[in-house]
């Protein structure tokens, strides 16, 4: 069991986030719910899509006034297209490498209310190339004049180890990087 002082010490901020970042606080609350209710998925190293789906359910409870969607492939009525370096995608891909985001918080039907785009990777055997592709997607979605995402998050979840790594983006640039000990978030 981790005492409260140890919990605080293990919550490590690498670059200080803005204090008024309500979206960040809600995402961390959803991550805590995920850890407390669905840690089994990480412990068993299930498919990334299963993990993002469950995380999106927890995000929906934090953002009840918004739509939270996984792998949303629409730009209003058209397929979502993003101009980044091409990546090879095969039909047996289980890592979720696509040009549409893992999770988004938005209002469907227009691009004026795209609040948050999230890309998730597990730390087990993730290649530098895969991380770079996802980070470039977050940068592109947050700097795009077409999609207008206010914030982006690249979330690296631990299958091995205890620390989740969160990199936050605005306007295509990282503005906050933090490491959070999942054990410290756990109620059990």
CATH of the domain at 134: 3.90.1570
Whether pLDDT at 144 is above 70: yes
pLDDT tens digit sequence for 10-58: 444 444 455 457 888 999 999 999 999 999 999 999 999 999 999 999 9
Query: Distance between CA atoms of 92 and 76, rounded to whole angstroms?
Result: 28
Alpha helices in the chain (DSSP H): 4-10, 22-43, 48-62, 128-143, 182-185
Is the Cβ–Cβ distance between 151 and 23 less than 8 Å? yes
Q: pTM of the predicted model, to two decimals? A: 0.80
Q: Which domain holds residue 146?
A: 4-185
Q: State the total domains in the chain.
A: 1
User: Which tokens in the block code for residue 188?
Assistant: 């059990």
Residue 121 C-alpha from the chain's centroid: 8
Chain position carrying tokens 């990282």: 174
């Amino acid at each position: 069991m981790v005492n409260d002082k140890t919990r605080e010490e293990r919550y490590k901020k690498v670059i200080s986030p803005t204090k008024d970042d309500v979206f960040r606080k809600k995402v961390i609350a959803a991550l805590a719910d995920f850890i407390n209710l669905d840690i089994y998925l990480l412990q068993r190293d299930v498919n990334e899509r299963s993990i993002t789906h469950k995380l999106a359910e927890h995000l929906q409870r934090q953002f009840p006034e918004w739509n939270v969607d996984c792998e949303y492939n629409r730009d209003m009525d058209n397929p979502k297209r993003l101009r980044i370096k091409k990546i090879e995608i095969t039909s047996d891909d289980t890592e979720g490498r696509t040009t549409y985001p893992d999770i988004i918080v938005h209002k469907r039907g227009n691009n004026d209310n795209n609040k948050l785009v999230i890309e998730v990777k597990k730390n087990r055997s993730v290649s530098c190339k895969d991380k770079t592709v996802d980070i470039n997607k977050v940068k592109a979605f947050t700097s795009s004049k077409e999609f207008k995402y206010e914030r982006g998050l690249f979330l690296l979840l631990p299958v091995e180890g205890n620390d989740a790594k969160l990199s936050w983006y605005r306007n295509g640039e990282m503005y906050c990087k933090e490491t959070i000990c999942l054990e410290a978030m756990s109620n059990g």
